[in-house]
Amino acid sequence: MNLSDMLSYADIQQLSRIADVYQCECNGHSKNDLIQSILSTVSRKDVFEAQISSMKLEDLRFLNSLLFEARSSYSLEDLIARVQQSRFGEEPIKVETEQPKKNKRTKKKAELLDKPLSPREMIAKFKHQGWLFNGYSGPNRYLFQVPNDLKTRFRESLAKRFASELHYTDEPSVYRDEQMLLSDDVTHLLYFTKHNEVQLTADGSMYKRFTLQLLSSFGVQEELPAKGAWRFGYGRHFNQYPNRLSFIYDFCYYTKYINETQNLLMLTSAGEERVMTRTVGELEQMYRFWLKLYKGPITNLLSLVHWINALAVDWVTLDSLRNVLVPYIKPFYYDDGNSILEQRIMTMMVHLGLLRLGEHPYKGAVVKMTKAGRAVITGANLEDYKPITL
């Protein structure tokens, strides 16, 4: 539903609170006057942009988590979790200046202003702004919704804000485009498994000699993790395999193309069929799998992918894109925002054929979405896929 529909179902108490936020001048006892005044005020571009500009970073993170989902409703528990995920543990910055001593009342007021809102207070704040509404009947009364037209306006407003901070360039002299290579290497892994007796170690990973043989046949070369080096990654055998191979292996395992026995890697009947004939729509399938596999550690992965898709229609510098998006990426253990964006998201998007990575002679690293990547991302609503554990 759109904002006008949700306002018509809201009670007069909520309408009055929304009208107070937007300083609407109307008859506060008339529901119709309240609705018309709110719609007239919110539709003004200057008012809407002022609301966006006044939002704190954690408010924007919370809002961002709701913008690219097709789902229409959220439970209170879900929203509380999202508010908590939007807080990365930053401490408020205090500027020391020479000022007159504050009395107790002024000091207490300043402390309240510095204190972050609780998750429930944050949700109430969004309700008062007319950005969240409760359902109006039955079980839906306990669910929250965001007006569809406001979602669109939020996306457009943030896109303009982000784009104003980016640096776009002409086409670089060289760039990487790995379209179809990942699918080709899925075939290589399955073919290798079919024609070799691939032995597994006690932890279920392939012995080093098999891994090296397999890597030598791949279209994108990777090196094994250094022996004895500490290793961090996502997936089943990330500590034994480099990132791209780890993803290919996990994809084949998840789709049941391969099966791990006690000491051998075996090809299944589904894997036999995949060796003979490439699956229609495999890029979309791998994209879905990647979102599900990486969504656990990167909770807002879907929105980040959509922002890259929206902002990298033309060649854009990696540095400027990093400056815009990293504040919205929550660190995960030893992965900080920069490594998550570059290694876990953008590098994997290049491997999937969704993104091109170039080197500009003057601007450094630059990226641009591929046509196939734009088609896959805009055509898939995958936010309701639960993270998977292999």
Task: Please report whether residue 389 resides in a domain.
Answer: no
Which residue, of 276, 294, 324, is where some domain finishes? 276
Which are the contacts of 375, defined by CB distance < 8 A and separation ≥ 6?
none
pLDDT at 93: 35
pLDDT at 387: 65
pLDDT at 225: 87
pLDDT at 97: 35
Task: Please report whether residue 313 resides in a domain.
Answer: yes
Distance CA 327, CA 286 (A): 27
Per-residue tokens: 169: 């360039």
Distance CA 118, CA 142 (A): 19
Distance CA 324, CA 320 (A): 6
Full residue range of the structural domain in which residue 364 is found: 174-178+282-379
Task: Please report whether residue 168 resides in a domain.
Answer: no
pLDDT at 292: 93
pTM: 0.88
**Residues comprising the chain, all counted:** 390
Q: Does residue 245 share a domain with residue 207? A: yes
Counting the structural domains of the chain, the total is 3
pLDDT at 104: 55
Per-residue tokens: 381: 């609503």
Task: Please report whether residue 260 resides in a domain.
Answer: yes
Distance CA 268, CA 247 (A): 19
Q: Which of 184, 62, 183 is nearest to 123 (CA)?
A: 62
pLDDT at 112: 47
β 198-199/143-145 pair status: unpaired
Tell me the one-letter amino acid at 33.
Answer: D
Q: Does residue 287 share a domain with residue 270? A: no
Distance CA 253, CA 248 (A): 9
Write out the DSSP string of 254-267: HTTSEEE-SSEEEE
pLDDT at 116: 79
Give me the average pLDDT of each 10-residue run along the chain (390 residues). Answer: 92 93 89 94 91 92 91 91 85 39 53 72 94 81 90 94 96 95 96 96 93 96 82 86 95 96 94 90 94 93 96 97 96 92 96 97 96 88 55
First to last CA, the chain: 38
